[in-house]
Amino acid sequence: MLCQVYIVLKDDILFQRDYAKGLDASLFSSILPKIKQDTFSKFGGEMGEYDFYRYKLSFIVDKDYDLMIIFVSGLTDNFDRIKVELHNLKKEFIDSYRPALKKGLDILISEDIEPILDKIHMNLSPKISIIGYAGVGKTTITKLIKEEEIPMEHIPTINGNHAVVKLGKLYLSVWDFAGQEQFSFLWKKFIAESDAVLLITDSSFENMEKSRYFIDLINEVVPYSHSAVIGNKQDLPTSIDIESIERVMGLKAYPMIATDRENKVKMIRIIAELLEIDPDVSPLLRPLIEKEELILKVENALESNNIEQALSYYKKIHELCIEIGDNSLAAEYQEKTENLKNMIKQQMSIQCTKCGRFVARSKAKADTRRTNLVDSRMYGELKKAGTIIMGAQNKEYYCISCANHGHQISQRAKKERKSSN
Ligand SMILES: Nc1nc2c(ncn2[C@@H]2O[C@H](COP(=O)(O)OP(=O)(O)OP(=O)(O)O)[C@@H](O)[C@H]2O)c(=O)[nH]1
Ligand SMILES: [Mg+2]
């Protein structure tokens, strides 16, 4: 998977984009002269790759402009696919900045480069394989991530499904396997070149024991992939606790209830952790997680009738959608914000008892009257005898005009009115 993109002009890092954990900035700066020497002289050609620690550095250079573009990716990534993307980025970059490159001006990388980077990341998106035996919840987990309707009955997956899922500006290539044993001849092929493997168990003892087969498969086919176990169906009373699952499987295990929509963020976090796409590492993931958390908070605020709070969450979600580039969701939240604002306006306004107009509470005159259920002649007698008589209060609101005409308020003479000077 693509972890980082660097554009180096002369001796300066002009641009850096982190998609996942890669080379530390200071480490990269310190090895840059060596990389430059290797790329411009030793390799001779325009393109090349070499392994560095746990990463593959793939580069393309342009000697005329003293330009170098470097992709930092996983060790097992396919160089042929990377080559195509390096070529594309170099072409787009030089085409966009040719005048500045020729004149030797300072280049400010603008947002123009975002669409091409977005496409490169999509084409080199990490492959996540979701494996496990039939009925453990692989398709349910895939749908949870994709925000699709959660299946409540088991409809076995045939062969397998592949989809590129867009999480904010991050792309994930998700492979959902067919877990029935009649499809086992496909498993090896499906799992190949995975960046991450999620082994799903339904947290039953029998399935967990059986699923150890997949651990051997991972070790054989994709030993360098990031893998973990998902102990699904933790809501079932017979489910085995996650610590025991972790111990038996010998892999990091996460508890999950895939049928609960609220676990979407949790699932994204698991994948992010696995691929080392930590929100601190990738600026693209932070707004996404923040957005998902706010969506849950807004539901709680609405349930507890905390409308003002919900409005502030709506506004924030709208801003985050724009930051992520999810324009359709941004439009949806813009509309929700407007609707809520109107609702608040209506709640804060008051209807005039006389003319029926809605006016702001601050512009209405309240007229409170006590009403007695006891006949006025008896009232005095009863009071004298010490009877406590409960009265009712009747509050009515008038707009200023009706209050004035109805003498609830009186207009002061012009000279008595406050003047601004
Ligand atoms: N109680 C409970 N049921 C779940 C959970 N996750 C999934 N299921 C149910 O398990 C059943 C099977 O889920 P699927 O996602 O279709 O299983 P699968 O692993 O894709 O199965 P194959 O495609 O045959 O390999 C469905 O009825 C789901 O509703 C969970 O966390 N708790
Ligand atoms: Mg399935």
237-274 pLDDT tens trace: 999 999 999 999 999 999 999 999 889 888 988 998 88
CATH of residue 290's domain is 1.20.58
Residues 6+ positions from 35 with CB-CB distance below 8 Å:
57, 59, 68, 70
Structurally, the chain folds into a number of domains equal to: 4
Q: With respect to residue 86, please indicate whether it lies within any of the assigned structural domains.
A: yes
Range of the domain at 189: 127-274
Report the percentage of the chain scoring pLDDT > 70: 96
Considering only CA atoms, which residue is closest to atom 10 of ligand 1?
A: 137
Report how far residue 298's alpha carbon sits from residue 397's, in angstroms, rounded to the nearest whole number: 33
CATH of residue 114's domain is 3.30.450.50
Helices then strands (H, E): number in the chain?
Answer: 13, 15
In ligand 1, which atom is closest to the CA atom of 178?
25
The CA–CA distances, whole Å, from 240 to 206, 236, 269 equal 10, 9, 22
- Would the pLDDT of 79 be above 80? yes
Q: Is 351 helix (H, G, I), strand (E, B) or coil?
A: strand
- Taking the centre of ligand 2 as the mean of its atom positions, its distance from the CA of residue 159, in whole angstroms, is 9
**Quick check: 150 and 258 in contact, CB under 8 A?**
yes
Mutate to test the pocket of ligand 1, among 143, 152, 154 (most ligand atoms within 8 A of CB): 154
pLDDT at 66: 87
Q: Are residues 258 and 154 in the same domain?
A: yes
In ligand 1, which atom is closest to the CA atom of 137?
15
The pTM assigned to this predicted structure is 0.73
Over residues 357-371, the pLDDT tens digits come to: 878 877 888 888 877
To 10 degrees, the CA torsion angle through 320, 326, 328, 330?
A: 10
Q: Are residues 98 and 227 in the same domain?
A: no
Q: With respect to residue 421, please indicate whether it lies within any of the assigned structural domains.
A: no
Q: Is 230 helix (H, G, I), strand (E, B) or coil?
A: strand
Q: Which of 78-82, 147-151, 357-361 has the highest mean pLDDT?
A: 78-82
In ligand 1, which atom is closest to the CA atom of 232?
31
- Least confident range of 122-126, 221-225, 235-239, 414-418: 414-418
Alpha helices in 304-387 (DSSP H): 307-324, 327-348, 376-384
Confidence of residue 421 (pLDDT cuts 50, 70, 90): very low
CA 416 to chain centre: 60
The CA–CA distances, whole Å, from 241 to 126, 205, 233, 236, 244 equal 30, 10, 11, 11, 6
Find the distance separating the first CA and the last CA of the chain, reported in whole Å: 71
Q: With respect to residue 279, please indicate whether it lies within any of the assigned structural domains.
A: no
- Least confident range of 206-210, 245-249, 274-278, 413-417: 413-417
- Would the pLDDT of 22 be above 60? yes
Query: What integer is the mean pLDDT of 150-159?
Result: 83
The pocket around ligand 1, CB under 6 angstroms, is made up of: 132, 134-140, 151-157, 178-180, 232-233, 235-236, 257-259
Q: With respect to residue 323, please indicate whether it lies within any of the assigned structural domains.
A: yes
**Which ligand places an atom closest to the C-alpha of 133?**
1
Write out the DSSP string of 266-312. HHHHHHHHHTT--TTT-TTTHHHHHHHHHHHHHHHHHHTT-HHHHHH
Mutate to test the pocket of ligand 1, among 139, 242, 264 (most ligand atoms within 8 A of CB): 139
Considering only CA atoms, which residue is closest to atom 1 of ligand 1?
A: 233
Over residues 276-314, the pLDDT tens digits come to: 886 666 766 778 888 888 988 998 998 888 888 899 999
Residues 6+ positions from 164 with CB-CB distance below 8 Å:
122, 125, 171, 172, 173, 174
Q: With respect to residue 352, please indicate whether it lies within any of the assigned structural domains.
A: no
- Would the pLDDT of 228 be above 90? yes
Which of 70, 103, 123 is the last residue in one of the domains? 123
